[in-house]
């Protein structure tokens, strides 16, 4: 029987607004197995970023069930979800979210230290070397190009050896050359590390590289390739 790293069953998200209840997501279901890549596509405002936040346990659904790395997110409190993410989930975002006051090395060390890993500095240095940034480890984010900052962010995400990586428009702020470099790095690392990938993207070429695709419109699934 196939083992799934991530499974969502009829997940919905509603919020109260001035005009009443607003449905952001409605009855979304999906499954992602080990080493599989799922692209989540759709127009702006379709609920893609909301979905990824729910799947990663950064927000709570209004209804439905989400199983992440073998744990039911619905029965975990905020601290429990944070502990689950700390050791098993990686993130890469469009805006990098590096800590401005930390060097590239210290940014990669951060999740390792939070997860209680030994030799955080040595491991972080090896990751930066693997993405071609050995000579930039003492630079601060403002001293790095966009592509370099995203490579630091990818190193930070993979440093904890996650079972699943969530990437929200990871090439959205990069030029074509940097986008291609980052995309190649992202997919090659997922493949070599055996990590599942959930990728939110507007880039059709990126989506086409994923083994599964799910398209959202107005919070509902209108297309699903597996």
User: In which order are the strands placed within the sheet that holds 212-217?
Assistant: 89-93, 164-168, 196-200, 37-41, 212-217, 220-224
What are the CA-CA distances from residue 53 to residues 8, 34, 49, 132, 148 (Å)? Answer: 13, 20, 6, 30, 25
Helix (H) or strand (E) holding 155: helix 146-158
Q: Which CATH number fits the domain that encloses residue 8?
A: 3.40.50.300
pLDDT tens, residue by residue, 44-53: 999 999 999 9
pLDDT at 17: 83
Residue 91's beta-bridge partner residues? 166
Split at pLDDT 50, 70, 90, the class of 208 is very high
How many other C-beta atoms can be found within 10 angstroms of the C-beta atom of residue 19? 6
Number of domains in the chain: 1
Q: What is the mean pLDDT of residues 99-107?
A: 97
Q: What is the mean pLDDT of residues 204-208?
A: 92
CA distance 154 to 181: 12
Q: Report the mean per-residue pLDDT for the chain.
A: 93
Q: What is the mean pLDDT of residues 139-164?
A: 95
Residue 172 lies in domain: 4-224
Residue 1 has pLDDT above 60, yes or no: no
What is the DSSP code (8-state) at residue 203?
-
CA atoms within 13 A on the CB side of 58: 11
pTM over 0.75: yes
CA distance 196 to 208: 16
């Amino acid at each position: 029987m196939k083992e799934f790293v991530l499974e969502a069953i009829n997940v919905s998200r509603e919020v109260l607004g001035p005009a009443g209840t607003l449905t952001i997501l409605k009855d979304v279901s999906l499954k992602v197995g080990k080493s599989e890549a799922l692209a989540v596509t759709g127009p702006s405002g379709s609920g893609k970023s909301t979905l990824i936040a729910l799947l990663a346990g950064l927000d709570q659904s209004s209804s439905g069930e989400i199983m992440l790395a073998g744990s039911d997110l619905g029965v975990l409190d905020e601290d429990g979800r944070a502990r689950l993410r700390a050791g098993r989930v990686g993130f890469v975002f469009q805006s990098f979210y590096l800590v401005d006051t930390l060097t590239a090395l210290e940014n990669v060390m951060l999740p390792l230290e939070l997860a209680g890993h030994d030799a955080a500095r040595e491991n972080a240095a090896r990751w930066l070397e693997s993405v071609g940034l050995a000579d930039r480890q003492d630079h601060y984010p403002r001293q790095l190009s966009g592509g370099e900052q995203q490579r630091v962010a990818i190193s930070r995400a993979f440093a904890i050896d996650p079972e699943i990586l969530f990437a929200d428009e990871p090439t959205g702020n990069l030029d074509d050359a940097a986008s291609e470099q980052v995309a190649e790095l992202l997919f090659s690392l997922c493949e070599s590390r055996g990590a599942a990938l959930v990728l939110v993207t507007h880039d059709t070429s990126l989506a086409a590289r994923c083994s599964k695709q799910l398209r959202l419109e107005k919070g509902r699934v209108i297309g699903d390739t597996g």
